[in-house]
Amino acid sequence: MQYRTLGRTGVQVSALALGAMNFGAIGRTTQDEATAIVDAALESGINLIDTADMYGRGESEEMVGKAIAGRRDDIVLATKATMPMGDERNRQGGSRRWLVTALDDSLRRLGVDHVDLYQMHRWDPRTGDEETLSALTDLQRAGKIRYFGSSTFPAYRIVQAQWAAREHRLSRYVTEQPAYSILQRGIEEHVLPVAAEYGLGVLAWSPLASGWLSGAVRKGREIATSRAKSLPDRFDLSLPHNRARLDAVERLAVVADEAGLTMVQLALGFVTAHPAVTSALIGPRTLEHLHSQVAAADTVLSADVLDAIDEIVAPGVDLAPHEKFDTPPALLDASLRRR
């Protein structure tokens, strides 16, 4: 396992990190299975575990907490907030009112007195940067979080938050967690250069593109990944962008075969090859998934392989741009365009 410095924090984290979104009802993963996955991940050298309050409405955090009991100090523990946690309108967002409560709830579910990295799951356009950053800074000074970061922020919001922290003399975001894979390379245009400019650690999620790059999706086969069942539109081959993804997967499979790699090794090796990326977040649902992904931990792609990937999916290109999660709210909510 390779280890890298998380931004400018000095903290050493594994090049592959364990994402716990599939723990619980979402991935139909029991507590015993989740604990076995955590055990195997730690044995492989993974030392960063990432979860969020909204994964199963707290179920993932509870399962992670039970799985790491007694070995908290060996783990860089990360969680997230801001997504809705109930029907009450103030149980979401980046306000001080909610973040103080949300963090206490997460600490209780995790069974710990602090988390190493607390991330804003999405940018909250209704809350000013100073409000959020001041709350996070106070929580940091209280010892409940060591560092804080952002997730799926557009590049301009990453910059704005850095400037707001400087202007108001507050602590700053030290990480960004964007979606990134061979099939979704849009963040190479702005987000990754901005992260590098400000010295942010980058934790890339969905490096297997929701299963498209797992090796299970090929022409002539029934698509039977768990995501195909829960998100059928993402695998509907009557849609042009999905046909484009399948064509790319077929060409990438040839590249992998010629290089003596599995598709998983190609996909994870590509993400961790980018100099701005600190870790690729894997989200195994089973031990078998974990073992196949950990096998890619030390994969280093040659320049020829990276060039071949560029010919299939050009740098900065998203094959399914409508699936991006950092679209400015004003483009999604008509009320923000017609005030």
H/E run at residue 281: strand 279-282
H/E run at residue 244: helix 240-259
**One-letter amino acid of 270:** F
Residue in 3, 55, 147, 180 annotated catalytic: 55
SS3 175: strand
Q: Which two tokens stand for residue 146?
A: 């060591």
Nearest CA to 52 out of 140, 117, 124 is that of: 117
Using CA atoms, how far residue 271 sits from 24, 49, 92, 135, 296, in Å, is: 27, 18, 31, 33, 11
Q: Which two tokens stand for residue 233?
A: 């539109």
SS3 112: coil
Specify whether 55 is catalytic: yes
* Spatial distance between the Cα atoms of 301 and 282, rounded to a whole number of angstroms: 18
SS3 191: helix
Nearest CA to 197 out of 159, 148, 151 is that of: 159
Give the chain's end-to-end CA distance (angstroms, integer). Answer: 52
* Spatial distance between the Cα atoms of 219 and 293, rounded to a whole number of angstroms: 22
Check if the beta carbon of residue 191 is closer than 8 Å to that of residue 339.
no
Check if the beta carbon of residue 181 is closer than 8 Å to that of residue 211.
no
- Which residues are catalytic, by number? 55
